[in-house]
Amino acid sequence: MINFQDPEFLADPYPELAELRKIGKPIWHEELGIFLAATHADSNAVLRNRSLGRIFKPKEPSEQWDTFNWLHADSILDSEPPKHTRLRSLVMKAFNPKKIESMRPDVERITQSLLEGIELKLAEAGQFDVIADFAEPLPVKVIASMLGFPDEDEHLLRPWSQAIVKMYEVSPSNEDKRQAQQASAEFAEYVHALMIERKKNPGPDLITDLALVEEDGEKLNAHELIATCVLLLNAGHEASVNGFGNGFVAALKNEAQMSLIRQSPDQHAATAIDEFLRFDAPLHLFERTATQDTEIGGVVIAEGQKIAALLGSANRDESVFENADQLDLTRDPNPHIGFGAGIHFCIGAPLARMEMATSLPMLMKAYPEIGLASEPRRRPTFVLRGYESVFVTS
């Protein structure tokens, strides 16, 4: 059975995931105590089946995990209807496709300023890091500005977010746990202070909108507001950074495909982005718990048992995608489930697509000769799959 910590598996999980799909039904992983759904059909069914819920299990001891626990229990992602419906509906209008389209000029402006920084790096060092200098700051700046976090606090956000999301890995270390507890407390306190400030000095941002709803007292309480802002900040960039980085490296290692976006980036940007997310998924595993006995792919998940949808595996399923193990930046249709499915389908999908499909052509036009300067360094993680750094030259 898969060892999720094996460095060889982490370097390239796809051969073992293909073996898992061959079994053709969910399989019990004894060590993790969870079923794994590896095919597209089974993963999709896990995400859509309403008797499989996102049931958050508070961490123990509760004194140490208090803030971390409510940041999750009171978030959109870790709640189920009717609470999920109420919380999700409060932010949905901020993410509708029209609103997102209106943000394109901002995304272009931010991308342009990052390209100017890159120009300096290239002049100084002859190389730059696609992750730290481009893929990471763009979504952080966009979601932070949507929420209304002051620019000067940006440096605080990614470290808090990274410390919290490390808990989604299969076996976090004790130091990871300590850092997640501390980051949860600091981030929650920070948003709380901002909420109070925005009630006094409203701004054109999501925190202000939510603070007014909270003040009204009926639809949102303070913990729910804080949990929503923290979730939006975290979910609003972690997967985008890694999705861009994973796909871009795959393209850089496949010149026949890369030449498509070197030569006509505008024409291929939209399909390229979805293929980036399909080919080497930034998010690999999402759990559900059976609220009653539930059948998935011919296997009964007993009430209380857990099952994981393996999104990266589903997106390589040969029965759905022709030449599934090949990167095809023109793939269309591309029914990948990298943004999930069912009631928890990613709220930020239109934003993530717009950010990436805007910034990729700008990067390619600025540096059509871009190429790897050295072998990129991967993070040794499975659930959030991504690169530490990707140094390139032009």
Q: Which is nearer to ligand HEM, 92 or 196 (CB)?
A: 92
**Which of 19-27, 65-73, 150-158, 278-286 is the region at the interface with ligand HEM (rule: CB under 6 A)?**
278-286
Read off φ and ψ for residue 204, nearest 5 degrees.
-85, 60
If one asks whether residue 247 binds ligand HEM (CB under 6 A), the answer comes out as no
Which tokens belong to 261? Answer: 């976006």
If one asks whether residue 165 binds ligand HEM (CB under 6 A), the answer comes out as no
Of 381, 363, 330, 342, nearest to 114 by C-alpha is 363
If one asks whether residue 239 binds ligand HEM (CB under 6 A), the answer comes out as yes
Q: Which is nearer to ligand HEM, 260 or 347 (CB)?
A: 347
Q: Which is nearer to ligand HEM, 214 or 238 (CB)?
A: 238
If one asks whether residue 286 binds ligand HEM (CB under 6 A), the answer comes out as yes
d(CA 96, CA 107): 16
Ranges assigned E (strand) in 221-372: 285-290, 294-296, 299-301, 306-310, 371-372
Q: Which is nearer to ligand HEM, 347 or 364 (CB)?
A: 347
201: amino acid identity, one letter? N
Q: Which is nearer to ligand HEM, 297 or 312 (CB)?
A: 312
Q: Which is nearer to ligand HEM, 123 or 332 (CB)?
A: 332
Beta-sheet pairing, 294-296 with 27-29: unpaired
Residues 310 to 349: which contact ligand HEM by CB under 6 A? 338-340, 344, 346-348
**Burial category of 129 from C-beta neighbours within 10 Å (exposed 0-12, middle 13-18, buried 19 and up):** buried
If one asks whether residue 232 binds ligand HEM (CB under 6 A), the answer comes out as yes
Q: Which is nearer to ligand HEM, 89 or 259 (CB)?
A: 89
Residues 53 to 92: which contact ligand HEM by CB under 6 A? 54, 76-77, 88
Min separation Cβ 47 and ligand HEM, Å: 5
d(CA 191, CA 198): 10
Min separation Cβ 229 and ligand HEM, Å: 11
Of 247, 232, 203, nearest to 140 by C-alpha is 232
Residue 286 neighbours by CB distance under 10 Å: 21
**Which of 171-179, 239-247, 253-261, 264-272 is the region at the interface with ligand HEM (rule: CB under 6 A)?**
239-247
Contact status, residue 321 vs residue 328, Cβ threshold 8 Å: no
If one asks whether residue 46 binds ligand HEM (CB under 6 A), the answer comes out as no
Residue 156 neighbours by CB distance under 10 Å: 15
Q: Which residues bind ligand HEM (CB under 6 A)?
A: 47, 54, 76-77, 88, 143, 231-232, 235-236, 239-240, 243, 277, 282-283, 286, 338-340, 344, 346-348, 351-352
